[in-house]
Amino acid sequence: MTKLSVNINKFATLRNARGGNVPDVLKAALDCERFGAQGITVHPRPDERHIRYRDVRDIKPLIHNEFNIEGNPIPSFIDLVLEVKPAQVTLVPDAHDAITSNAGWNTLRYKNELTEWSGIFRKAGIRTSIFVDPDPEMIYGAARAGADRVELYTEAYARMYLQNRGKAIEPYVSAALAARQAGLGLNAGHDLNLENLNYFYSNIPGLLEVSIGHALICEAIYLGLENTIQMYLRQLSDF
């Protein structure tokens, strides 16, 4: 079964835009679980423009399903992850001023750093996933760096999906096969939505988890959060 991890950053973005505690990010995490999500993802950035480090600390003891913290492994991020001890940490090479993640790691260039970080988290009992483009060489590099999983950056798939979904999925199928050959678990995320998710799920072997935030929260404005999560879970099935 492919798990759905809901990225709740957008709830924090709305809260921070006005101040106060509306919407309540902790309640959002609990509601996503209650409505069927098998995981909660957060991506704290140094400027705390959405999820704050305090949110991460407050969420962990409340939820029962998998907790995934993603971000650039700067020292403060590493310290936070080691303190909170989520089930999974996803290493993402985003700049401090990036609007959203926009590329995977070059696992060959950053082999030494990724190996060090993976070792730190493994010692703490935290599963490590490395965010990569759908390039087999980057996937093999992640395996050599000691990762447990890779998360495929799916923006290119989503962008090309309406034009030629067969062509859009090809590099991701190759990447999934490379991950299997390398002995890595496989996650995916970025711009997946109700329109393109089932085709991705149906064609990617060994897909363990998808992390979805922006599209899901936007669709929930119109469809309701519980209904939207159930619709996403249906897309991760064979109907």
Sign of CA dihedral 20, 26, 32, 34: negative
Catalytic residue among 33, 190, 209, 219: 190
Which two structure tokens, joined as six digits, stand for 115?
Answer: 């190996």
Query: In the annotation, is 190 catalytic?
Result: yes
Instruction: Tell me if 219 sits within 8 A of 197, measured CB to CB.
Output: no
**Closest to 147 (Cα-Cα) out of 195, 115, 174, 172:** 115
Q: Please tell me which residue in 43, 151, 209, 219 is annotated as part of the active site.
A: 43
User: What is d(CA 235, CA 194) in angstroms, rounded to the nearest whole number?
Assistant: 7
Catalytic one among 33, 70, 151, 219? 70
Residues contacting 74, CB < 8 A, separation 6+: 46
* Interacting residues of 107 by C-beta distance below 8 A, sequence separation 6+: 114, 130, 132, 138, 139, 140, 141, 142, 144, 145
List the catalytic residues: 43, 70, 190
